[in-house]
Amino acid sequence: MTTRIKEIFQTGQPDQSVTVQGWVRTKRELKEFTFLEVNDGSSLANLQVILEPTLPDYENVLKTISTGTAIAVSGNLVPSPGKGQNIELKAAEITLYGDCPADYPLQKKRHSFEFLRTIAHLRARTNTLGAVMRVRNACATAIHTFFQEKGFIWVHTPIITANDCEGAGELFTVTSLDLKKPANFAEDFFGKRAYLTVSGQLQAEVMAMALSNVYTFGPTFRAENSNTSRHLAEFWMVEPEMAFCDLEGDQDLAEAFLKYIFKFVLENCPEDLQFFNERIDKTVLSTAENIVNSEFGRITYSEAIELLEKADRQFEFPVEWGVDLQSEHERYLAEELFKKPVIVTNYPKTIKAFYMRLDDSNKTVSAMDILAPKIGEIIGGSQREERLDVLIQRMQEQGMNPDDLWWYLELRRYGSVPHAGFGLGFERLVQFMTGMTNIRDVIPFPRTPLSADF
């Protein structure tokens, strides 16, 4: 039976006999004995292991162990005289699984995140990327727990689809291809057009029209060739969809949702968040506390434009009613004016998707974006257009053929109800939580215009 290192730090007692398995981070040879730092990914902290010359085959063991070596260590826990941790392991037996030659790229020194991206297959063994993966896991757990506690049903929407939900034309196409034959890219999805989904929303709406409250949590794809620190070509999205819900209910749920996730991670990953706060961004902990304890700002798009027009600065993109908010505007509002997340509602219909509910003014739609400090848009959502005639008109206005979405329109013919939902960009959430500046460093294998190997 092996024990995870996290458990040893939580419940390990002196004299307890344990076996741990992990990778050696460092080896420090002194005259009388040798120290190893071993990590198994369960916690940020390494377990200190002491090897004494009485250990069977001591000299040989020392020769084969180096940074990166995979080992199992059995022995007794002893109180640690050093500062930092209370317990360490005195080795009685060492098993070597895999040695690690000196060209191992993760030698003990600081590596840039840029360099680490070129070794995505190894970088989870570093402190930062390991902590990112644990926080990412905690965020995902919090998301499921939040919705499950509220009785939402997790639905699995397709990855391959015929629709462009957002209408932004940022699609990857799916083509069947026999690698043994010369490529024929015209031969697409069994004679039909098919794409990788940009959002599970339309299918989630189908499910909400039967199950009332549902959510999706899966990969989505955008063929935007943008090399920014906030865009990926493949990212994960969480999309709740609620029948009998309006824009206000949508905002309330989104705010409660973000608060829940931050509280959950604060409680479940305190060491990792502390690490990010010390090493990556010294506002990580105060931001998390602020999310949990403060009410989000709520303004309309028109109010946002007024605030931006009054701003004491020149923006690169000038603002006037009707323009889409750029990241510099979003960040000014959330980071500098509100200093907390702010929900902006009722955007002009011309800059939003066809499915958003038209307001009485006929100029705006019941949209909402949540803007977060340092990130900008983290959530995008809306109340959906439930009136068949208005929906058809909106599709036509945007140059869409209503027949292409005949099944979506039928939802408005058969027992239509007001409904609303939103999409949370999962990697932007993890960025927000950890303070990591580049979105490529919060997903195990980033898909961006420049990555292909992994």
Q: How far is the CB of 369 from Mg ion (least distance, A)?
A: 6
Longest dimension (CA), the chain: 84
Nearer to ligand 4AD, 40 or 255 (CB): 255
Q: What amino acid occupies position 234? A: E
Nearer to Mg ion, 366 or 416 (CB): 366
Nearer to ligand 4AD, 332 or 426 (CB): 426
Q: How far is the CB of 364 from ligand 4AD (least distance, A)?
A: 16
Pairing of strands 153-154, 213-221: parallel
Q: How far is the CB of 13 from ligand 4AD (least distance, A)?
A: 45
Does residue 209 touch ligand 4AD according to CB under 6 A? no
Which residue in the set 348, 373, 421, 446 belongs to the binding site for ligand 4AD (CB under 6 A)?
421
Does residue 231 touch ligand 4AD according to CB under 6 A? yes
Residue 99 interaction partner, one of Mg ion, ligand 4AD, none, beta carbon < 5-8 Å per kind: none
Does residue 381 touch ligand 4AD according to CB under 6 A? yes
Does residue 152 touch ligand 4AD according to CB under 6 A? no
Span interacting with ligand 4AD, options 21-29, 33-41, 389-397, 422-430, rule CB under 6 A: 422-430
Nearer to Mg ion, 266 or 358 (CB): 358
Q: How far is the CB of 204 from Mg ion (least distance, A)?
A: 16
Does residue 378 touch ligand 4AD according to CB under 6 A? yes
Nearer to Mg ion, 376 or 380 (CB): 380
Q: What amino acid occupies position 183? A: A
Which residue in the set 380, 381, 421, 435 belongs to the binding site for Mg ion (CB under 5 A)?
380
Q: How far is the CB of 257 from ligand 4AD (least distance, A)?
A: 13
Q: How far is the CB of 230 from ligand 4AD (least distance, A)?
A: 6
Does residue 199 touch ligand 4AD according to CB under 6 A? yes
Does residue 376 touch Mg ion according to CB under 5 A? no
Q: How far is the CB of 1 from ligand 4AD (least distance, A)?
A: 41
The span from the CA of 430 to the CA of 235, in Å, is 12
CA angle, 101 as apex, 54 and 65 as ends, to 5°? 15
Q: Which residue is nearest to Mg ion (CB)?
A: 380
The span from the CA of 293 to the CA of 139, in Å, is 18
- The phi-psi region of residue 68 (left if phi > 0; otherwise alpha if psi is between -120 and 50; otherwise beta) is left
Span interacting with ligand 4AD, options 7-15, 36-44, 266-274, 421-429, rule CB under 6 A: 421-429
Q: Are 45 and 271 in contact (CB under 8 A)?
A: yes
Residue 378 interaction partner, one of ligand 4AD, Mg ion, none, beta carbon < 5-8 Å per kind: ligand 4AD
Nearer to ligand 4AD, 235 or 301 (CB): 235
Does residue 341 touch ligand 4AD according to CB under 6 A? no
Give the other-Cβ count within 10 Å of 417's Cβ: 15
Does residue 422 touch ligand 4AD according to CB under 6 A? yes
3-state secondary structure the chain: CCCCHHHHHHHCCCCCEEEEEEEEEEEEECCCCEEEEEECCCCCCCEEEEECCCCCCHHHHHHHCCCCCEEEEEEEEEECCCCCCCEEEEEEEEEEEECCCCCCCCCCCCCCHHHHHCCCCCHHHCHHHHHHHHHHHHHHHHHHHHHHHCCCEECCCCCEECCCCCCCCCCCECCCCCCCCCCCCCCCECCECCEECCCCHHHHHHHHHHHCEEEEEEEEECCCCCCCCCCCCEEEEEEEEEECCCHHHHHHHHHHHHHHHHHHHHHHCHHHHHHHHHHCCCCHHHHHHHHHHCCCEEEEHHHHHHHHHCCCCCCCCCCCCCCCCCHHHHHHHHHHHHCCCEEEEEEEHHHCCCCECECCCCCEEEEEEEEECCCEEEEEEEEECCCHHHHHHHHHHCCCCHHHHHHHHHHHHCCCCCEEEEEEEHHHHHHHHHCCCCHHHCCCCCCCCCCCCC
Nearer to ligand 4AD, 42 or 382 (CB): 382
Does residue 366 touch ligand 4AD according to CB under 6 A? no
Which residue in the set 88, 239, 255, 272 belongs to the binding site for ligand 4AD (CB under 6 A)?
239
Which residue in the set 423, 441, 442, 443 belongs to the binding site for ligand 4AD (CB under 6 A)?
423
Q: How far is the CB of 376 from Mg ion (least distance, A)?
A: 10
Span interacting with ligand 4AD, options 8-16, 89-97, 379-387, 409-417, rule CB under 6 A: 379-387
List of residues contacting ligand 4AD (CB under 6 A): 165-166, 199, 201, 222, 224, 231-232, 235, 237, 239, 377-382, 421-423, 425, 427-428
List of residues contacting Mg ion (CB under 5 A): 380
